[in-house]
Structure 1
Amino acid sequence: MIKEPESKRVFITDPALATAGSILKTLEHMKKYGFKDENVVIMAMFGCQSGIERIFKEHPEVKLFLVHMADGIREDGYLLPYNGDTGDRLYGVRENEYVI
């Protein structure tokens, strides 16, 4: 494990910060090992207000950089407008998936 995790700067990247579930789980895991929120920088390409609010509600000291604020979030947890799942974009979009 990393020595003196409480003093280390940590960068977390996420292509699409929708529900913030992945980021929150990552932060929870890191806290167990002694990392401090004030040393965490989150960088995302896309995000929505509700996901950002969830992060700052539980971890107000993290820093967050976002390239584009989405209009909202669909019922299934994808951002609006939907630009495609990162994995699908890298490895091929599913046949019946609508992507703008």
Structure 2
Amino acid sequence: MSPMPLSQVHHITHPLVQHKLTLMRNKEASSTSFRTLLGELAMLMAYEVTRDMPTHLVEIETPLEKMQSPMIDGKKLVFASILRAGNGMLDGLLRVVPNARVGTVGLYRDPKTLQAVEYYFKMPADMAERDVIAVDPMLATGHSAVAAIQRIKACAPRSIKFLCLLAAPEGIATLQQAHPDVPIYTAAIDRQLNDHGYILPGLGDAGDRIFGTK
């Protein structure tokens, strides 16, 4: 299967998304401000990544009469956080879909090889009935996303999407080559990676800026 064309990468260009991302990129933004903006951005992006979620009709009663009205089954949606930075997006996503389950993929990037090393993995039960949205603020080299999605696929979920704030062309190409069936949703496609695998112009290390570490 050949990689999906770039047109199938969903670039979320809503003005509010772009405005908040600009504020996050600013190196003067504090950790408190960065975390708040990340939560707000995650909420806004959740509307786009869940746009095609299936619904079913339920009977309710308005103040005037009974009716059939659509609802999603949030219990069948899984937000899979790629640690550690993915956790910064969870609160915002769960505000939009509070009944969603949460999975966790613990990975760190080897500083010499830039390859992903797994140290933790936990998903909800009955994954065959669930739709997964894998979450990581940065799609840089793509190695962590590829490794995380490979582990999630072993659980045989119904579908998988990948949600990030920033993507580098190299990361998009790597993820598409390994997992051409996984749509990518991002607020920005930046210019390139530097020699250390960081996105340029980027916003620095998302995990460090979320948690105030170095």
Name the TM-score class by shorter chain: 0.7 to 0.9
Kindly indicate whether residue 174 of structure 2 is the aligned counterpart of residue 48 of structure 1.
Answer: no
Give 2:125's aligned amino acid: I
Kindly indicate whether residue 18 of structure 2 is the aligned counterpart of residue 18 of structure 1.
Answer: no
Which residue among 49, 60, 80 is the counterpart of 2:200?
Answer: 80
Identity %: 25
- Which structure would you say has the larger RCO, counting Cα contacts within 8 Å and 6 or more residues apart? 1
Per-residue CA distance 1:26-79 (angstroms, 9 max, x = gap) = 11111222235xx11111100011111111111111111110111100111100
1:88 CA drift (Å) = 1.7
Q: How far apart are the structure 2 equivalents of 1:49 and 1:75?
A: 14
Answer yes or no: is the 8 Å Cα contact 1:84–1:93 preserved in 2.
no
TM-score, normalised with respect to structure 1: 0.80
Q: How far apart are the structure 2 equivalents of 1:33 and 1:70?
A: 32
Q: CA RMSD in A?
A: 1.7
Partner of 1:29: 151
Runs (5+) with no aligned partner, structure 2: 1-123
Q: How far apart are the structure 2 equivalents of 1:26 and 1:13?
A: 10
Partner of 1:66: 186
Give 1:89's aligned amino acid: R
1:15 CA drift (Å) = 0.7
1:93 CA drift (Å) = 5.8
Q: How far apart are the structure 2 equivalents of 1:79 and 1:59?
A: 21
Q: How far apart are the structure 2 equivalents of 1:82 and 1:63?
A: 21
Q: How far apart are the structure 1 equivalents of 2:213 and 2:149?
A: 30
Q: How far apart are the structure 2 equivalents of 1:9 and 1:33?
A: 11
Answer yes or no: is the 8 Å Cα contact 1:48–1:70 preserved in 2.
yes
TM-score, normalised with respect to structure 2: 0.40
Give 2:205's aligned amino acid: D
